[in-house]
Amino acid sequence: MATTTLAKAVNAALRAALEDDPKVVLMGEDIGRLGGVFRVTDGLQKDFGDHRVKDTPLAESGIVGTAIGLALRGYRPVVEIQFDGFVFPAYDQIVTQLAKMRARSGGRIALPVVIRIPYGGGIGAVEHHSESPEALFAHVAGLRVVSPSNAADAYTMLRQAVAGDDPVIYLEPKRRYYDKGEVDPAASPHPLHSARVIRLGRDATVLAYGPTVRTALEAAAVAEEEGTSVEVVDLRSVSPVDFDTVEASVRRTGRLVVVHEAPVFFGTGAEIAAHVTERCFDRLEAPVLRVGGFHMPYPPARTEHAYLPDLDRILDAVERVLAY
């Protein structure tokens, strides 16, 4: 077991996948010699060669299209989209080809492609560099969509994604790249699409994933000082959603606040709120509330603090559900 950053945990997972399976190949813009703009792939091309860690042209549609072709020939491509907002030129390839091939072939053809996307804000960047597109991909049947919030999950979830036979959108919370945590490569991994209760509480549940999990934990700690016991659930997987764990938590606390960076309008929180209301209506003490981004293009860096969910907005939502 070692203490490392989330970024280095991703690097370690990629290194282990390359060592374990000669059919694993990495592709992306500047991932080789540069090691990626966040240095997540640093050293991998040097150690495994440019035939397995390939720098690509600036052409996201071509990157994903090439990955699909490689997967059809038995490879396991792991591609990096340099920034979240750059994925949209490849959206057609992902939605009409990658997600549909297994169903289109009656299950005979699998496309084990992992698309790594650094996503979310909080790094002082502009639009196209700070997007949260998870709901767009979760809406598409045939794609798995996951997001780790810590170094240990970053390692194990990526290993599981690469080993699986379905296409996975693997969302890396870029503002958490340098958060440290313990990683044990030998530990038994939590199931890829299972949520986890990471803080027990009695009065309300706060559900988060990816970059907002740490913020939710900070809010729960402040609430505890004020006499409110908040349970925190790390969703981990946006598609499929582990509704069993979510429902069990809500049935214990009677209240739910869903937190994500993406806009709340037609967002992940809306689906979760609808599902929980249908399944747990008799146990809810208050409406399900959502805390997230606003329905607008991502703002300039100097104002992103007002856009991103913060501790105060989460605590305000907790107070509102407790007021019923």
Q: Residues with catalytic annotation?
A: 129
The H or E element that residue 292 is part of is strand 289-293
The CB-side HSE value for 63 (13 A sphere, CA atoms) comes to: 30
The H or E element that residue 27 is part of is strand 24-28
> In b/e form, how buried is each residue of 67-84, taking b as 16+ CB within 10 angstroms?
bbebbeeebbbbbbbbbb
Strands 204-208 and 256-263: parallel
Query: Which of 242, 180, 240, 173 is closest to 210 using CA atoms?
Result: 173
The H or E element that residue 191 is part of is none
182 - beta bridge partners?
Answer: 3
Asked whether the beta carbons of 277 and 283 are under 8 A apart, the reply is: no
234 - beta bridge partners?
Answer: 196, 208
CA 49 to centroid of chain Cα atoms = 29
From CA 197, how far away is CA 252, in angstroms rounded?
12
From CA 96, how far away is CA 310, in angstroms rounded?
36
Q: What are the C-alpha distances in Å from 53 to residues 110, 115, 135?
A: 22, 14, 29
